[in-house]
Amino acid sequence: MGVNVALQNEDGGQIAMVLDPKSALSQALRLAEDQASQFPWASTIDLYGDTVFNRIQAEKLLKEWALLIESFSADSRTLAHLKQIDELIRQCAYEIHLYVKFIGD
């Protein structure tokens, strides 16, 4: 199984969800783990547990997410998946009382 990503409100209600049935995100997150100095926020996402980012953290994660997108530009499946997640992170970063939750398996 993969790592699903949810955009949630402050009550934990789900606003949007990106499912990861083919584990496309896992590959990108392993790259972030291997290069933790370049991805200090993304490398903290737990593949097997839940990781939640608030607005301030999501804004920092966005910068790293752009690097992940660039790193997987040749892999169309992973690239499309990362871009969907980018939209959730972006919405979280620029609106109040939202959280992006990475749900590991």
105: confidence class by pLDDT, cuts 50, 70, 90: confident
pTM, rounded to two decimals: 0.94
Q: Are 44 and 59 in contact (CB under 8 A)?
A: no
Question: Is pLDDT of 1 > 80?
Answer: no
CB atoms within 10 A of CB 31: 17
Q: Are 86 and 65 in contact (CB under 8 A)?
A: yes
Q: What is the pLDDT of residue 27?
A: 87
Residue among 3, 4, 1, 28 nearest 18 (CA): 4
pLDDT, one tens digit per residue, over 44-78 is 999 999 999 999 999 999 999 999 999 998 999 99
6: confidence class by pLDDT, cuts 50, 70, 90: very high
Q: Which domains does the chain have, with CATH numbers?
A: 4-103 (3.40.1760)
Q: Are 51 and 28 in contact (CB under 8 A)?
A: no
